[in-house]
Amino acid sequence: MKLEVYNIKGEATGRSIELPEEVFGIEPHEHSVWLDVKRYLAAQRQGTHKSKERSEMSGSTRKLHRQKGTGGSRKGDINNPLYRGGGRVFGPRPRNYDIQVNAKVRRLARRSALSAKALAGNIIVVEDFSFELPQTKAFIEVLRALKVIDQKPLTVTGAYDKTLYLSCRNLQQAEIAPATDLNTYQIMRAGKLILAESAIEKIKEVCE
C-alpha cells in the first residue's frame, strides 16, 4: 500500500511511501486484538483493593446474648456482617490481574490493528518533525493542518522525542508514542494514526 507523504503544514510533498504489506496489509485477526486489549487493560489495574472481614475487625468478640430462649435470632459479636459496621463477607483482597498472552499473539494483534486502520483509510504519513521548545499551541496547529484535531489522533514517532511529548501532554484527545512503545490498545483507541516516516521501519521491526 502506497501513501502520500505530507509535511506539518498539511501540504503534499509530492513523495509517496510504501507501507510494508506484512504489517499493514494482512487480514485483521479480531480475536488476537481482543486478547491483547484485554491484557493491556487488565495490567492497568492496581489490584490493591482490600476490605476487612469479620476476623480482622477491632470490635469486641463478646457474644451479644445467649444462644436460645430470647425469642430473637442467634447472634455472635458486633463484628457480625449483618450489622452496620460489621466485617464484610468475602470482601475484595489484593490480587494481580495480569493476563499472559504469547508474544506471537501480541505481534499479530498489533499487525491486525494497523491493517484495520490502513483498510479504513485512517493512516496519514508525515515528514519527521520536532520543535526547539515544548509548544502545545504549535502541536495543535500541526493537527489542524492535517485536519485530524477532532479525530483522536495518535502520532507515532521513530524515537522518543521529549519536546514533542511535552507539547502533546496537555491534549486530552491526542496522544503521542514512539514506535517501539506502540501497543494494540493505543492503535484501536485512536481515530487517526499519524506516522512519521522514520516510524514505519521501526514499526516493522517491532511487529515482525
Rounded CA gap, 208 and 200, in Å?
12
> C-alpha cell of 200?
514505519
- Residue 1, pLDDT > 90, answer no
- Sign of the CA dihedral 136, 138, 141, 142? negative
Q: Where in the sequence is the domain holding 145, given as residue range(s)?
A: 2-31+102-207
**Residues 84, 108: one domain?**
no
**Residues 67, 147: one domain?**
no
CATH number, residue 11: 3.40.1370.10
Select from 36, 158, 48, 45 the least CA-distant residue to 94: 48
Cα separation values, 169 from 137, 138, 163, 207, Å: 12, 13, 10, 26
Q: Are 125 and 1 in contact (CB under 8 A)?
A: no
**Full-model pTM:** 0.84
**Residues 200, 125: one domain?**
yes
pLDDT for position 99: 94
Residue 53, amino acid: E
- Number of domains making up the chain: 2
What are the pLDDT digits (tens) for 81-140?
999 999 999 999 999 999 999 999 999 999 999 999 999 999 999 999 999 999 999 999
- Residue 208, pLDDT > 90, answer no
Residue 50: CB atoms within 10 Å: 12
**Residues 189, 138: one domain?**
yes
**Residues 109, 84: one domain?**
no
**Residues 72, 52: one domain?**
yes
Domain assignment present for 38: no
Q: Are 107 and 182 in contact (CB under 8 A)?
A: no
What are the pLDDT digits (tens) for 169-203?
999 989 999 999 999 999 999 999 999 999 999 99
Q: Which helix (H) or strand (E) holds 154?
A: strand 153-157
